[in-house]
Structure 1
């Protein structure tokens, strides 16, 4: 009996040593010469919690590390980065919304507040910068308007914004969430000629032009189906098409732009979800691969990323529906080299990493993730 105990103890010790050796062998060695990729994250962090972060991705293994608190500002749910990445613009998604402007400090380890504007409309949820880097625009969800600003002193410690134009939308839609206009996205066309806004409340994409600092009368560039609830749109520079995701219907609509008028014409309409999924889900973000040969859509509820190949004349062909390994993917980003896709899972409070094949466009799992309170936005620096 005593001998058996000693034998078992020796066996357990040997197994523990072997297990430790195997675990050590399984760990991916860290190459000190590897240049880490950096990403910035905005969030719905609780009051008095840090809300803007930086994380690092190992471009070889996909491992996440280097979680750094950059700033504490209220609900920076969407960010915009200047062309040189030296200035960060954040919406403050509150009832009387605002925009906070930050500049980097301490070798990208902190952000300092350069300026802040308040009372800019209710619940701003999207922000973007003009292609020439001189203007900024904000979409206000609850008040249903867009605002335009001149960027002054870019990348200096006194970077500030001067509002020069706005457009207030009017009306309502068919869905219970469409009791009023709800601007959810606003940005310039790639050539900078037109400004487009996506109105979830009216099922419309509007188009605008500027005459100096005068915003000309808004036109309806594209009317979606009743109850679609358009959320975001993205342009393909190479293909000359745009892709609209609809939050309420989960429809994905391909449109072609008239370069002279800015109007959009439907090319294709399909679902962002698979036929097999029967639960409740709402699309969020839409992104193109670096080569613009694949398109990706995040689905909150099914908690997946839908993958599409871009084929002839900008049309889409469904390839894959893949889990985000988290809950409520509000935003995601594809790394600049196309090797990884990082997902901001809002309700599970984590960033997860998926492996991406540049040739096939398909996604696969990794074990890489990092905890961040209610992430809503992610972009590579």
Structure 2
């Protein structure tokens, strides 16, 4: 016979079970609770700043040289995608007229831009503007503007010493030396030298067949000025007089002094435009605009003398028609030279031999019209071309082993582009 359970006993049993379950739950809760002296959770650290590659692009604006107004807005600032080479717009500095050539100081703290104009002052000069560069963003702050010392400047560079800006005034027929102050600002020119010489023909006799393009030989037209890698000499390509001039620069006075051989005559009508030194500073590659040739010379860094060893065309033997060579670059490896051809719209790729001579190994379509300036990004992975008449920048991937160029299919819209500068920001 079963023992009967009263309602009272049943109720007491349920109560006891509830207490036991509650105690077990309390034990588990105690096990999961943090200790009274344990540290508070630490938030994850913020992401570290990452260095970026910044590209500056300049060109012709509505306020330009006589007959040379363009579609540009000023100096456009882009961030470069390091994987694809695409240029991503950041901002545009618009308070400047026709910055058709720009360059950075060696430490990237300052950017210098010329204005290719003839009405900066009552003397018909162009102008030069100094900018401070934000090292994290690449944004520009205008410091000051001074006269270029001549009409319609076409090129500028920072002297190897970092103390002077060197300027080629194309229409003015002069070169100028402009002091760079400690804060990056520019002073008045310390020297202005006017070139002179006999009238040269508008075309060279060794032109590509069918070339109707001419270069202005009405007078002196300095087109590029730069010091050699040692900083001992200053060289100038004069496209009007078909000469390359060689000077020394007195760092104390800021005056140019003719070298032992003050200039070298080149092919009449060839219009020497831009040049590059090889990595030893002993080979000079001089690009001639009108006949689309590169003249290869040895250079003596002790006395500044030049001796020609080769002349090579920037277009292939099968080319026929009008063309004007524009820009020349040398790869970071020192193994390849690149040249741009306007009108013909091609990029020439040369292999450099052990003796410094060149062999044309490829000719690449620019994919746009009237390519002028070219420049590598700081890593040398991409080559960019400023196509003035197409209002676009095109990008090519560089095979660093073979020197070959592969079009990336990237077009960046920029009004009348003519010049580049690149820098890596500080992380």
Q: Same fold (TM over 0.5)?
A: yes
Q: Which residue of 1 aligns with 2:374?
A: 332
Instruction: Using the TM superposition, give the Cα deviation of residue 168 of structure 1 relative to its aligned residue in structure 2, in angstroms.
Output: 0.7
Per-residue CA shift, 1:212-235, capped at 9, x if unaligned? 323223643422111111001111
- The within-5 A match list for 1:196-275 is 196-211=235-250, 212-213=252-253, 214-217=255-258, 219-238=261-280, 240-275=282-317
Matched, 1:91 2:114: yes
- Of the three residues 278, 282, 285, the one matched with 2:324 is 282
Q: Which residue of 2 aligns with 1:186?
A: 225
**TM-score of the pair, normalised by structure 2:** 0.77
- Separation in 2 of the partners of 1:346 and 1:228? 22
Aligned in 2, Cα 1:357/1:143: closer, same or farther, shift over 3 Å? same
Q: Which residue of 2 aligns with 1:7?
A: none
Instruction: Using the TM superposition, give the Cα deviation of residue 70 of structure 1 relative to its aligned residue in structure 2, in angstroms.
Output: 2.8
- Of the three residues 275, 278, 301, the one matched with 2:343 is 301
Q: Check the 8 A contact 2:327/2:372 in 1, yes or no.
A: yes
Aligned in 2, Cα 1:173/1:249: closer, same or farther, shift over 3 Å? farther
Which is strand-richer, 1 or 2? 1
Matched, 1:129 2:152: no
- The within-5 A match list for 1:76-155 is 76-95=99-118, 96-105=125-134, 107-108=136-137, 110-118=139-147, 120-155=149-184
Q: Check the 8 A contact 1:290/1:336 in 2, yes or no.
A: no
Instruction: Using the TM superposition, give the Cα deviation of residue 348 of structure 1 relative to its aligned residue in structure 2, in angstroms.
Output: 0.3
Alignment RMSD (CA, Å): 2.0
Per-residue CA shift, 1:29-55, capped at 9, x if unaligned? xxx998542111111022496210111
Q: Which residue of 2 aligns with 1:44?
A: 60
Aligned in 2, Cα 1:49/1:346: closer, same or farther, shift over 3 Å? closer
Aligned in 2, Cα 1:263/1:173: closer, same or farther, shift over 3 Å? farther
- Of the three residues 28, 33, 58, the one matched with 2:81 is 58
Aligned in 2, Cα 1:215/1:174: closer, same or farther, shift over 3 Å? closer
- Separation in 1 of the partners of 2:50 and 2:131? 28
- Separation in 2 of the partners of 1:61 and 1:175? 45
* Residue aligned with 1:60, SS: coil
- Of the three residues 165, 173, 180, the one matched with 2:199 is 173
- Separation in 1 of the partners of 2:72 and 2:337? 34
Uncovered stretches (5+) of structure 2, i.e. residues with no partner: 1-47, 64-70, 119-124, 203-215
> Radius of gyration: which is bigger?
2
Matched pairs, number:
347
Instruction: Using the TM superposition, give the Cα deviation of residue 77 of structure 1 relative to its aligned residue in structure 2, in angstroms.
Output: 0.6
Per-residue CA shift, 1:76-105, capped at 9, x if unaligned? 111121112121111111122111111135
Higher relative contact order (CA 8 A, sep 6+): 2
Uncovered stretches (5+) of structure 1, i.e. residues with no partner: 1-31
Q: Which residue of 2 aligns with 1:377?
A: 419
* Residue aligned with 1:163, SS: coil
- Separation in 1 of the partners of 2:325 and 2:141? 34
Instruction: Using the TM superposition, give the Cα deviation of residue 210 of structure 1 relative to its aligned residue in structure 2, in angstroms.
Output: 2.6
**TM-score of the pair, normalised by structure 1:** 0.86
